[in-house]
Copies of this chain bind each other. A is one copy, B any other.
Amino acid sequence: MASWEQLAADKRARLEKTIPAEWKIQNPPSGDSVFDYPAQSGILSPKELEITGTSATDLVAKLATGELKSVEVTLAFCKRAALAHQLLNTNLEFFPDAALAQAKELDEYFEKHKKPVGPLHGLPISLKDQLRVKGYETSMGYISWLGKYDTEESVMTTLLRKAGAVFYVKTSVPQTLMVCETVNNIIGRTVNPRNKNWSCGGSSGGEGAMVGFRGGIIGVGTDIGGSIRVPSAFNFLYGIRPSHGRMPYAKMANSMEGQETVHSVCGPIAHSVPDLKLFVTSVLSEEPWKYDSKVVPMPWRQWEEDAIKAKLSAGGLTLGFFNCDGNVLPHPPILRGVETVVSTLKQNGHTVVPWTPYKHDFAVDLINGIYASDGCADVLRDINASGEPAIPNIKDLLNPNIKAVGMNTLWDVQLKKWRYQCEYLEKWRELEAQLGKELDAIIAPITPTAAIRHDQFRYYGYASAINLLDFTSVVVPVTFADKAVDKKKESYQPLNDLDKLVQDEYDPEAYHGAPVAVQIIGRRLSEERTLAIAEEVGRLLGNSITP
């Protein structure tokens, strides 16, 4: 039987072969950033650079009129994804030939019928490795899963395919998925295109790096504790964690499959809110609730988006904000990011009031216990099956003092979760009563740091408290860390040991230029409203990029 090292080496060799010789980088760029490399590579034509620089919304518009062919769009993104893998280590599966064949079929359909097959006709969509695509390997970063080729597809894959999407790549994840960085024993570490010393985030880190690098225009991620939002934030992208039940998840691979106390959810990462909306509306138009029992039968509610738009032209939005959850104070760039958003909104006539984070310490403890409620038996089984070591980043998760909880303890935890959620809603109502109007959303940090240096990610609570609440959250890119203004705090009195650890890690020099983001938090299943608010925030910041 092959050792785990041999199995990993074999997989890497197979991945290497997926990249045609003419897409191989002969002279790798020096320097920490590869962000601008594609234009210098000589591998993409000017038109291909233009295509990969276009928004998804514009691409589908051009594909739907025949102005662009799916084959040329797909080829452009395949080339750029090949560069991404060579520079950033993004891919767990890459199948440009199959993608081009699929694109050709779509072009032929268009030629024959003079209409697109669906709202994503011909658009390449990048997939996190959890999404099953028939005929390809889903390893999810576990050596022991290598060699298992999917015979059926995830519902999300099926519906995206029906909507016209083209698949070409499945991107890397951290071993277990329970980490906001991306490292595994199969292909190693995925890095940030803006600076290889920074993390691309995780667990949908392959998507963050791929879309950040424009090797993909929309990436599909999942999030049970920040895994869509952190890669979005670290790559200056938009990303939505929909509430559970809005997007299909059935038949996707997962760690801790069947765990339902806190659900992982599926959602897109992209360069703009319109591109996120394109994805969400396209999936909803396929009626996912007829395929996945956990999806709520709730089509896109245009009237909800319109309700926010109406406020923009009459009286403005009413938003809460906080910059510290009481557990860990964010680094100076993040505090400045929140302040920037708040002051920009106020200057534009919106009402922004402080939000008191309600028992976030309780929430973070509760969800951490939920993640480990089987004493990590599930993830340890899949790690140990091959003899591979656990990645260092999951040391806390695999704390040997953590034991599986009994059924009645689980029920107590679930009851505490429900009560906490209801109390949070009560606080929301109380503030609305005080203000005499609807509270439209809450602005908050999504991580305590800008795009972080490797193996330094310590505190998931800004993201995970929102997972416990199952609120809708949209990440909006704000600015970049700046050593000239984001000075290290002198004589800071930490709130606790973890806060000290996080605060001590701040280094203005190391973080200089790292993306800074916030999350916009709406109540459960408020995707239409929260996206509309995020779009307005991005617009006011000047970050609603369509290059």
Does A294 reach chain B (CB closer than 8 Å)? Answer: yes
- Chain B residue with the shortest CB-CB distance to A525: B297
Within 8 A of B (CB), among A390-445: 404-408, 410-415, 418-419, 421-422, 424-426, 428-429
Indicate the member of A258, A428, A470, A525 with the most B CB atoms within 10 Å: A258
Does A291 reach chain B (CB closer than 8 Å)? Answer: yes
Q: How far is the CA of A202 from the CA of B298 in the complex (A)?
A: 33
Residues 323-363 of chain A: 1 if any B CB is under 8 Å from the residue's CB, otherwise 0? 00000000000000000000000000000000000000000
Contacts of A322 in B (CB 8 A): none
Does A18 reach chain B (CB closer than 8 Å)? Answer: no
In the complex the two chains form, is B297's CB within 8 Å of A408's CB? no
Q: How far is the CA of A292 from the CA of B523 in the complex (A)?
A: 12
In the complex the two chains form, is B378's CB within 8 Å of A408's CB? yes
Does A293 reach chain B (CB closer than 8 Å)? Answer: yes
In the complex the two chains form, is B411's CB within 8 Å of A290's CB? no
Does A256 reach chain B (CB closer than 8 Å)? Answer: yes
- Chain B residue with the shortest CB-CB distance to A245: B296
Contacts of A258 in B (CB 8 A): 410-415, 418
Contacts of A411 in B (CB 8 A): 256-260, 374, 378
Q: How far is the CA of A526 from the CA of B411 in the complex (A)?
A: 28
Q: A408-B378, A415-B258 are in contact. Are A469 and B373 (CB under 8 A)?
A: no
Rounded to whole Å, the gap between the CB of A500 and the closest CB of chain B is 34
Contacts of A294 in B (CB 8 A): 418, 421
Residues on A facing B (Cβ under 8 Å) = 155, 245, 250-251, 256-261, 289-294, 296-298, 373-375, 377-378, 404-408, 410-415, 418-419, 421-422, 424-426, 428-429, 469-470, 523-526
- What 6 A-B pairs have minimum CB-CB distances, sorted nearest first? A258-B411, A293-B421, A258-B415, A374-B407, A258-B414, A404-B407
Q: How far is the CA of A259 from the CA of B257 in the complex (A)?
A: 18
- Chain B residue with the shortest CB-CB distance to A414: B258
Q: How far is the CA of A293 from the CA of B429 in the complex (A)?
A: 13
Contacts of A406 in B (CB 8 A): 374, 404
Q: How far is the CA of A298 from the CA of B377 in the complex (A)?
A: 38
Q: How far is the CA of A456 from the CA of B419 in the complex (A)?
A: 38
B292, B296, B421, B526: the one within 8 Å of A422 (CB): B292
Contacts of A412 in B (CB 8 A): 258
Q: How far is the CA of A375 from the CA of B411 in the complex (A)?
A: 13
Contacts of A418 in B (CB 8 A): 250, 258, 293-294
In the complex the two chains form, is A425's CB within 8 Å of B260's CB? no
| Apart from A258-B410, A296-B296, 15 more pairs, CB < 8 Å | A251-B422, A256-B411, A258-B418, A260-B414, A290-B425, A291-B422, A293-B418, A293-B469, A296-B298, A298-B298, A374-B406, A374-B411, A404-B408, A407-B407, A410-B410
